[in-house]
Amino acid sequence: MSQQKPEYKCKIGQIMKEAGLTQLELSQKSGVPQGAISRYSREDKRENFNIPNLFALRDALGLKCLDELFEEIKTD
């Protein structure tokens, strides 16, 4: 019996909304291209993430760890 690997969605869009930031503002603040932020903001899309971008976004958003950028997708 094998366990299924958990899947995660990126919460960048939700976090930006709560912080009152646009994609452009977050791009300017983090140095991450706006196009990458747009891709990461699509919660329904599985994305290959650039690790340095994630650290830059974490820092720009004032988060303590990368885990705060993601939410586990519950599957039955």
Strands in the chain per DSSP E: 7-10, 70-73
Can you give the residue ranges of every domain in the chain? Answer: 7-69
Out of 1.10.260.40, 3.40.50.740, 3.30.1490.20, 1.25.40.10, select the CATH number for domain 7-69. Answer: 1.10.260.40
How much is the pLDDT for 52?
Answer: 95
Q: Is the pLDDT of residue 18 over 80?
A: yes
Q: Is the pLDDT of residue 1 over 80?
A: no
Q: Average pLDDT of the chain? A: 88
Q: pLDDT tier at 28 (50, 70, 90 boundaries)?
A: very high
Largest CA distance in the chain: 47
How much is the pLDDT for 8?
Answer: 81
For 31-48, write each residue's pLDDT tens digit. Answer: 999 999 998 888 655 667
